[in-house]
Each structure stands twice: as C-alpha cells, then as structure tokens.
Amino acid sequence: MIPEPPVRDVGVCEILSIQLKKLTLEAEIAQKVPLGRILDAAAELDVEYRASITFKLDNNKGPVIFKLYTNPVFVTPPPCRPGPKGDHEVHLRELPTYQKIWSLESLKDHKAEDSADDKVMVINATSKGAEVLARAWYSERGKCAVIRRPDGPCFACALCAAGKAGLRTGMFIWAG
C-alpha cells in the first residue's frame, strides 16, 4: 500500500513576537564583579539569553509560546525516485506507523517522550508559517528532526529517513 501523506492545512501560523530574556550570571562571576576582580564589560560577555517565540494560530484561542532551550539539527533528505506505481509502497503491517500525524494545535500539550519508540512522530507543517512553529517545538524539547520539503522524497521514504532504518531521530516535519 502507498501511505497517505498529511493533508495540506490551509490555516495560518503567525509569529507575534520574539523575545530575549537575560539570564542571571553564574554565581562565581557575579561574586567577582562587586569585588572588582572582573570588569562589568567582561561580565557582559558571560551573559546568556533565553529566546522565546510567540505564535498565533488561526483556530487557537490564545497565543502559543515556545522557549528555545536547544539548537537542534534538522536534516532534509533528497528526492527519491518513484516506483512504477508512483510513490513507494509499504507492507500492510507497516501502515499504522504512517497514520499518526500531529497537528500544530495539539503540539503544545504533547511531549516528545510520549511517542512510541518504534514510531516516528509526524508533524503536519503544511500551513503558512507552520514550519517555524514545528522547529520551535523541537528546540524547546531538545529534539532533532527530519524535514520533508515540497519536491522532496515521497512520504514513505521521508518517514524511513527519520525512523530506525535511517537517522533514528524519531521526529519528522512534513513541510509545505
């Protein structure tokens, strides 16, 4: 059977704001500044910031905020060569692996750890601006992912790239 890719979402995901929050200095550095052992300018070099992005989704009541704790790696696989029937087929017993697709609206409450070990978490990021939100979700949770772009591989091959037979990220963005 040929697995069905996510349906194109017609919603809009909009970035409302990007914020940087100054984090407190490490105790060791903070103690040296008042004593004059380290200059204020040198202490500023050690200041860290935490970024967060606020999104507005069409069909969501309020804004959705993601804090960017990590800098994950995103990999885009190359296009595949379609088989004689078009997109690649999978065995019927593998079909359930391809059927759990997460929408943007359901992401905020989902934990990456909730996904089964043998399945790949697929995020439908086909609406306008959705890929940025999906990337922010992965950054907040510290997960790397495979991203399938238009004119990329078929759904079966892209999912395989994110699964155990590929990069083993277990995370996949279907971008549009």
| Per-residue pLDDT tens digits for 111-163 | 766 555 567 889 999 999 999 999 999 999 999 999 999 989 998 899 889 98
Q: How many domains does the chain contain in total?
A: 1
The SS3 assignment for 140 reads helix
Percent of the chain with pLDDT over 70: 81
Give residue 127's identity as a one-letter amino acid code: S
DSSP string, 8-75: PP--BEEEEEEEEEEPPPPHHHHHHHHHTSS-HHHHHHT--EEEEEEEEETT-SS-EEEEE-----EE
Q: Are 110 and 102 in contact (CB under 8 A)?
A: yes
Sheet containing 49-57, strands listed edge to edge, beginning at the edge strand earlier in sequence: 13-22, 49-57, 64-68
Q: Report pLDDT digits (tens) over 153-163.
A: 998 899 889 98
**How many Å apart are CA 49 and CA 43, to the nearest integer?**
14
Q: Does the predicted TM-score (pTM) go above 0.85?
A: no
Using the predicted structure, report yes or no on whether residue 22 has a pLDDT greater than 90.
no
Q: Which domain holds residue 175?
A: 1-176
The per-residue pLDDT for 112 is: 61
